[in-house]
Amino acid sequence: MKPKDYAALLMRERTKTAAINADDLPAGWVKAKQVGALLGYKTLAGARPPIEFIVKAGFAQEMRISRNRLAYRLSPKFKTWHAAKAAAEAAGKFKAPRGWVSLSEYSLKHRRTVRGVQYRIDGTGIPVRILRNPRSVPYYRKSDLDRVCR
């Protein structure tokens, strides 16, 4: 390889790496490291799961800069990344159908122990639903619990 060819090759490679390392992102896009800092994380390793959760909820878009470098754009619904994170967490929480409560929710509201409510329920044949949630917790109709625990 002649020196002239080698110099041309170096210039071509330099422009490729310069494009990857450049901060010339389109308007509104932010690098992952900057999003981590905006969310209050010191390292990118700690920031990745919340960022992915926000993207999965649909509150941000992801763009690949290179093989392992990403940029993100916040949805127009939100002004801050903290608000998007809070909304993504709220959207991911389990919510029981209307009129159905767990024993812990019911006992907390009526200032009773879970065990006390459970003793009242035993043997009454009240219908129970075990809903798909992170923990398999039995849910009861609130009206049935009110009737039994008067």
Class of domain 27-92: mainly alpha
In the chain, the amino acid numbered 130 is: I
Assess contact for 59 and 74: CB atoms under 8 A.
yes
Domain boundaries defined on the chain: 27-92, 100-148
- Within 13 A of 129's CA, how many CA atoms are on the CB side? 15
The whole-model pTM stands at: 0.56
The predicted pLDDT at position 24 comes to 73
- The continuous run of DSSP H or E covering 45 comes out as helix 44-57
Q: Which range among 1-10, 16-25, 68-77 shows the weakest confidence by mean pLDDT?
A: 16-25
